[in-house]
Amino acid sequence: MAVCLPSQLTLWVAASKLIGFSDRGKTTKISLKSIPHDIKRADVSPITQRAENIGDFTLEEAIAKANTLIEAMGWIRQFRGKTTVIKLGGSILDDTQALMHILLDVIFMESVGMNPVLVHGGGKAINRELAEAGIQPHFVRGRRVTDQATLNVVEKVLAGDLNVFLTEEMERLGGRAMNLSFLTTNVLFGQKLAERPDEDLGFVGEVTRVDRNVIEGLSYTDQVPVIPSMCEGDDGQHYNVNADTAAMAVAQSLGAEKLVFLSDVNGVRRDKEDPDTIIHSLSSAEARELIESGVIDAGMIPKVEACLETLGRGVGKVHIIDGKLRHSLLLEIFTTQGVGTEIHL
């Protein structure tokens, strides 16, 4: 079955208004002064305007949009009450339009009975804040070396600015969300990462425990948990955590139906230079074969291997999708073919 175009999702956005966004309380007026980068709010007025004018469709357009809803209905029923963990980070946080559409997708998912959980990083925002402070970033094997000065910036950006910004933006768009960090209610606990005895990355940590009761309690009250990729040690020490591994830990703890990585590429490709060669569905065995044959290589290998590890620990499926494609989250979950790569056991 052909994938519906993003424009066909207008009716989904409209339907979400009928489900009850408007009566969930007052939205929050926010200030962007605390955001460490020059991000402007997306102009979402065309979205809401089209949602409010659904009576302007031609009959053929209306039928096509109704068919889209019918296709989605089966998936909505299947995933109602199920948890989906969404990892947000990278350049998507710098793309205002893409970010707003992702947040709208998350709000829609919650409104139809799913339990979305948002885990975010913020590497580029951290780098900008470090540059302003005159601190040179340093990485070892892709991990940020985090001394005390760097940790202070990471805490401000991740647990403070971005975590609050994402939560308040979701409220402004009509959803309900709660920011969870050591500044509010902490849910990620861990320890210092020690991968190699001869290597000290500073205050870089790994998650060893997730307070699932808090997260599930928020989902039960129709709120979206928003969690930064930081953890707290038993002694109260804070640690910087890789956002991918933080999202994996949350998904495993919750026994999530899905873990979705929002990426800068559209998924796993047979030819990494050709987006049209995307593989929409992969079993774990097929994924390992593609790694061995060299089809999956370079930077995609650790991400796919992380996906396979997550599947082995109780997560139903893992998805890699292009976060900059408009409504890619809804298209991946609520259409038959999807738009990214789904990896399963």
Strands 143-144 and 139-140, sheet pairing? antiparallel
Q: Of 93, 72, 97, nearest to 9 (Cα)?
A: 72
CB 256 within 8 A of CB 83: yes
Q: Cα(117)–Cα(150) distance, rounded to whole angstroms?
A: 27
- Confirm or deny that 323 is annotated as ligand binding: no
Here the tokens at position 310 are: 């997550």
- Confirm or deny that 267 is annotated as ligand binding: no
Whole-Å CA distances, 160 to 36, 226, 288:
10, 12, 39
- Confirm or deny that 144 is annotated as ligand binding: yes
Q: Which residues contact residue 309 at a Cβ distance below 8 angstroms, ignoring those fewer than 6 apart?
A: 248
Long-range contacts of 94-101 (CB under 8 A, 24+ apart): 94/37, 94/39, 94/124, 95/324, 96/39, 96/40, 96/41, 96/42, 97/42, 97/326, 98/323, 98/324, 98/326, 99/42, 99/169, 100/41, 100/42, 100/44, 100/169, 100/173, 101/42, 101/47, 101/326, 101/327
One-letter-per-residue 3-state SS of 14-35 = HHHHHHCHHHCCCCCCCCCCCC
- For residue 137, which amino acid is it? P
Whole-Å CA distances, 195 to 93, 99, 140, 198:
29, 33, 12, 9
> Across-strand partners of 88?
120
Q: Of 95, 67, 5, nearest to 331 (Cα)?
A: 5
- Confirm or deny that 340 is annotated as ligand binding: no
CB 227 within 8 A of CB 218: no
Q: Cα(233)–Cα(236) distance, rounded to whole angstroms?
A: 5
The annotation places the binding site for substrate at 122-123, 144, 240
The annotation places the binding site at 122-123, 144, 240
